[in-house]
Amino acid sequence: QVLLQDSGPGLVKPSETLSLTCTVSGAFVSSSSSYYWVWIRQPPGKGLEWIGSLHDNGGIYFDPSLKGRLTISLDTSRTQFSLKLTSVTDADTAVYYCAAYFCTTITCRLDPWGQGTLVTVSS
Amino acid sequence: VLTQSPGTLSLSPGDRATLSCRASQSVSSAYFVWYQQKCGQAPRVLIYGASIRATGIPDRFSGSGSGTDFTLTVTRLEPEDFAVYYCQWYGGTPLYTFGQGTKLEMK
């Protein structure tokens, strides 16, 4: 059974870098696994927003509005993947979720999800 | 773009709920998913492949549709079903597109 746990600081100052880690158990985190590794965020009181993901072809994909500020990487231990978002503003305040996009031969879905980390951007 | 309707649905336990998700372009059912999110929790998969119930999901939940119109139906609402529901599709722009959500609230 694959489980995800996201972690990181809950408070980041404006203009600084937000860093989060997702620890995966039950599967190897690699660019050639059966899963895509995904970051999603949810601003307070709002809906879900995809922000970036790492796919099995080694490709890293970002929401265009965040491109240039966002880095997604794999840990060499193959048990974690990380997100770094630079130059944060109030608009980046959100609950950040990591998730695995799991595909069978016929369907795909985001499952499982981490528990979510609330990150507040404030001085 | 995925557009969910209604934005809020006020019903009572025992009622039938019908939630809609409309895509701005035809989408593959294989990549169409419904999630449920309760307050303070991460979303969880209810229906994937447009109509396949995820493991452990009660049979009062069902999904249907294809192309641009998809529906999530909950027959005989239970108190624990009152939550926010999101539809999601993979393959458009952005790559993982979510609807804005339907809040199912108790009347």
**A26-75 per-position pLDDT tens digit:** 877 766 567 899 999 999 999 999 999 998 777 889 999 997 999 999 88
DSSP, res A31: T
pLDDT of residue A33: 66
Q: Distance of alpha carbon A15 from its chain centroid, rounded?
A: 20
List pLDDT tens digits, range A80-118.
999 999 999 999 999 999 999 998 888 999 999 999 999
* Contact A61/B at CB under 8 A: yes
Confidence of residue B103 (pLDDT cuts 50, 70, 90): very high
- Give the number of other CB atoms < 10 A from CB of residue A110: 27
Task: Mark yes or no for CB contact B94/A38 under 8 Å.
Answer: no
Q: Please indicate if any CB of chain B lies within 8 Å of the CB of A60.
A: no
**Model pLDDT for residues B32-90, shown as the tens digit of each residue:** 999 999 999 999 999 999 999 999 999 999 999 999 999 999 999 999 999 999 999 99
Cis peptide leading into B79, omega within 30 of 0? no
Gap from B76 CA to chain A (nearest CA, Å): 26
Q: Report the residue of chain B nearest A46, measured CA to CA.
A: B100
Using alpha carbons, select from B75, B89, B72 the residue that is nearest to residue B20: B72
> How far apart (Å, rounded) are the C-alpha atoms in residues A46 and B106?
20
